[in-house]
Amino acid sequence: MTGPKSTDTASVQPPEATETALAVVLAALGTAAYAVDEQGRIIAVNALAERMLARPATDLVDHDAHDLLHRDAHGQPLSRAQCAMRPAFLARRTAQADQEWFARGDGRPLPVSWLTTPLNLTGLGDHERVTLVLFHTPDGAEPSSAPAEQVAQPLPELERLALLAETTTQLTSTLDADEAVHRLVSLVVPRLADWVVIDLIRERDEVWRAVVAHAEDGAVTHHEDLQGPMPPVPQQSPMPLSRALRGAASTITSPQTYQQPPDSGITAEQHRLFDATGIHSAAIAPLRSTREVLGAVTLGRSQTPQPFTPADLSLLEDIARRAGLALDNARLYQRQRTVAETMQRHLLPQLPQVPGLQMTARYLPAPDASQVGGDWYDAFPLSDGATALAVGDVVGHDLEAAAGMAQLRNIVRAYAWAQQEPPSRIVDRLDKAVMHIADVPMATMIFARIEETEDGRWYLSWTNAGHPPPLLVTHDGLAHCLTDGHGILLGTGTHHPRPDATTFLPPGSTLLLYTDGLIESPDHSLDEGLHRLRRHAAALAHRPLPAFADQLLRRVRPTDNDDDVVLFTLRTPTPA
């Protein structure tokens, strides 16, 4: 090969600041590259590019890159209109092309594949907006920057498209951020790399190294000692990971990049990572949504001898783009779930203290829905000294259902306090009101009154508007459903007389009011669900009431039922 002898460091011209920043970037790439300014003039070039182009840096820097290098297959100058690189350069976007030609110093055209990507470097005056051009020669072409057997080959196009399709399917089919990260790991190792590192930006711009995983002998091992909190992202650092976490374009790097004294804590952590893993070549891409930078993904090769090439960056960017959107959707969904669950729990009331009675309630949101719905419970004192009990279910699993639930609860409280009437009359008034002053399509509920009689017994009266029946469990473990007092649900527009039912609660007995999510399952009938509830409630009859409720939910709630659950329990005093 003709051309001057050169070193392995980037050859960069003044000014001094440009030399420092671009030297780090270009030397770290591991492939031939040069940088151009906004006018397309070459401002820096690395040693690999000097060797491949058979030109010293002094013959490249300050020259227009298009005029100097771009040629057709016959070695003739290429017009700007025919240049595939120019539109991407002007738009400052990443692009790549194969079967292009550059002019060598000896006059021969050099077949190349190239990738161009914008690079923003602050504090460099006229050279803050830089474009990097990375290039390599196809198989069999000379000169090559590495032995042919060590040149990494990109995935064939069909495999690439299949991987992207699988990535899209896998990452968009979950709304759990941790699961999305887990799936991303399984997609890229060992198919593309021996190592994968995922750094995520959390609240207040804190960085967390969520994954350091290594694929070896068909298994993926997570290295927790390398995971955990990371130092903050420096705003001026030109180092690859810092730039990726600021949203810059993807890049290729190696341990040599981190041999100099670290410019920040996060750079020191990268040095530690390379030392601990033995990675000799890495490709880093940002994880971005349409709104913000979410983190960065790093692929590393240690056992695989071939280094990453610019051709690998396009695939990594496509994968990272899909992963960023999936993580953003998962985070938005999680925020919605948190807000909705907080809203739901604030809507649900504190239980009153009633001398002689124990009460506890549990609310479990739907596992795969929006974590908010129409299941509700209430207990409050009445003006005549009795205590009102209510459990209901508004149709739907969204904010409208939650709002309808709050309306029903408030209307019931107002009617029950003002009107000293049997439960059936209160619910009848509520049913008529639902049609006119509440945004509730349909609902079921049980409304009851419980009061202590003069002889110390507890008297229960109730009405049931299309709801699963209450369950009464005696202290001796006898369990039966209270099927009396059953009427039609609320909101049908038809008005039939509603029945009342009454019973005395035995000493030490437990009353259960619940919603259908506790017993309903696609795998069995409601009768089977009620049978399971009776069996387990009877077996737990002697448990303290909080433990009774928790164990009953754990044993009875179907794992395949995507519905929220309310369980309200009440226990009368046990005789001394």
DSSP class per residue in 346-384: HHSPPPP--TT-EEEEEEE--SSS-S--SEEEEEEE-TT
**DSSP bridge partners of 360:** 569
* Residues 61-79, mean pLDDT to the nearest whole number: 86
Confidence of residue 91 (pLDDT cuts 50, 70, 90): confident
| Spatial CA neighbour of 184 closest among 308, 325, 320, 284 | 320
102 and 222 assigned to the same domain = no
pLDDT at site 575? 76
175 and 135 assigned to the same domain = no
Tell me how many domains the chain contains: 3
Q: Judge whether 45 lies within some domain.
A: yes
The position carrying tokens 């008005």 is 495
CATH code of the domain in which 225 resides: 3.30.450.40
**DSSP bridge partners of 222:** 213
134 and 191 assigned to the same domain = no
Q: Which region among 31-35, 272-276, 379-383 has the lowest average model confidence (pLDDT)?
A: 31-35
292 and 415 assigned to the same domain = no
279 and 357 assigned to the same domain = no
Q: Judge whether 496 lies within some domain.
A: yes
290 and 184 assigned to the same domain = yes
Among residues of the chain, what percentage have pLDDT more than 90? 47
pLDDT at site 433? 85
- Quick: pLDDT tens for 95-150: 888 878 898 887 778 888 888 888 766 544 555 678 888 888 865 444 433 343 44
Q: Judge whether 356 lies within some domain.
A: yes
The position carrying tokens 């909190």 is 229
CATH code of the domain in which 424 resides: 3.60.40.10
**Following DSSP, what letter does each residue of 460-486 receive, concatenated?**
EEEEEES-PPPEEE-TTS-EEE---SE
pLDDT at site 19? 53
Q: Judge whether 148 lies within some domain.
A: no
112 and 161 assigned to the same domain = no
- Quick: pLDDT tens for 412-454: 999 999 988 999 999 999 998 887 776 677 889 999 999 999 9
Among residues of the chain, what percentage have pLDDT more than 70? 85
Give the integer Cα–Cα distance in Å for 126 and 407.
Answer: 64
Give the integer Cα–Cα distance in Å for 26 and 44.
Answer: 8
Three-state secondary-structure class, residue 77: strand
Give the integer Cα–Cα distance in Å for 237 and 246.
Answer: 10
Q: Is the pLDDT of residue 9 over 70?
A: no
pLDDT at site 566? 93
Residue 1: Cβ within 10 Å count: 10
326 against 73, higher pLDDT:
326
Tokens of 29: 């790439």
23 and 100 assigned to the same domain = yes
Q: Which residue type occupies 164?
A: L
- Quick: pLDDT tens for 37-65: 888 899 989 888 888 898 888 889 999 99
| Spatial CA neighbour of 38 closest among 100, 125, 102, 115 | 125
Q: Judge whether 303 lies within some domain.
A: yes
pLDDT at site 312? 87
Domain end call among 94, 111, 140: 140
What contacts 490, CB < 8 A, 6 or more positions away?
408, 427, 430, 431, 434, 440, 442, 443, 444, 445, 465, 466
Q: Is the pLDDT of residue 268 over 90?
A: yes
Q: Judge whether 278 lies within some domain.
A: yes
Give the integer Cα–Cα distance in Å for 471 and 476.
Answer: 14
209 and 277 assigned to the same domain = yes
- Within 13 Å and on the Cβ side, how many CA atoms surround 41? 10
232 and 365 assigned to the same domain = no
Q: Judge whether 151 lies within some domain.
A: no
Domain that holds residue 42: 11-140
Pairing of strands 486-487, 458-465: parallel
Confidence of residue 396 (pLDDT cuts 50, 70, 90): low
The structure's pTM equals: 0.50
Largest Cα span, the chain: 113
HEC string of 244-300 equals HHCCCCCEEECHHHHCCCCCCHHHHHHHHHHHHHCCCEEEEEEEECCCCEEEEEEEE
Give the integer Cα–Cα distance in Å for 86 and 212.
Answer: 38
Q: Which region among 236-245, 355-364, 556-565 has the lowest average model confidence (pLDDT)?
A: 556-565
**DSSP bridge partners of 480:** 472
CATH code of the domain in which 54 resides: 3.30.450.20
Give the integer Cα–Cα distance in Å for 309 and 192.
Answer: 12
Q: In terms of DSSP H, where are the helices of 78-211? A: 85-91, 157-172, 177-188
Give the integer Cα–Cα distance in Å for 260 and 92.
Answer: 30
Average pLDDT, the chain: 84
Q: Is the pLDDT of residue 219 over 70?
A: yes
| Spatial CA neighbour of 503 closest among 488, 484, 487 | 484
Sign of CA dihedral 75, 79, 80, 82: negative
235 and 136 assigned to the same domain = no
521 against 362, higher pLDDT:
362
Orientation of helix 157-172 relative to helix 310-347, angle to 10°: 10
Three-state secondary-structure class, residue 169: helix
Domain end call among 337, 367, 398: 337
Q: Judge whether 218 lies within some domain.
A: yes
Cβ pair 477, 419 in contact under 8 A = no
Domain end call among 140, 174, 189: 140
Confidence of residue 484 (pLDDT cuts 50, 70, 90): very high
**Following DSSP, what letter does each residue of 376-414 receive, concatenated?**
EEEEEE-TTS-EEEEEEEES-SSHHHHHHHHHHHHHHHH
**Following DSSP, what letter does each residue of 228-249 receive, concatenated?**
EEEPPPPSS--SHHHHHHTTPP
Please tell me what DSSP assigns to residue 471: E
* Residues 455-465, mean pLDDT to the nearest whole number: 96
Give the integer Cα–Cα distance in Å for 8 and 26.
Answer: 10
Tokens of 81: 């209109």
What dihedral angle (degrees, nearest 10) is formed by the CA atoms of 540, 545, 547, 549?
A: 80
| Spatial CA neighbour of 570 closest among 514, 509, 527 | 509
pLDDT at site 151? 43
pLDDT at site 141? 47
Which DSSP helix (H) or strand (E) runs through 415? Answer: helix 399-418
Give the integer Cα–Cα distance in Å for 240 and 118.
Answer: 14
Give the integer Cα–Cα distance in Å for 379 and 350.
Answer: 8
Give the integer Cα–Cα distance in Å for 406 and 396.
Answer: 14
Orientation of helix 310-347 relative to helix 177-188, angle to 10°: 160
453 and 539 assigned to the same domain = yes
Which DSSP helix (H) or strand (E) runs through 457? Answer: none
Cβ pair 116, 7 in contact under 8 A = no
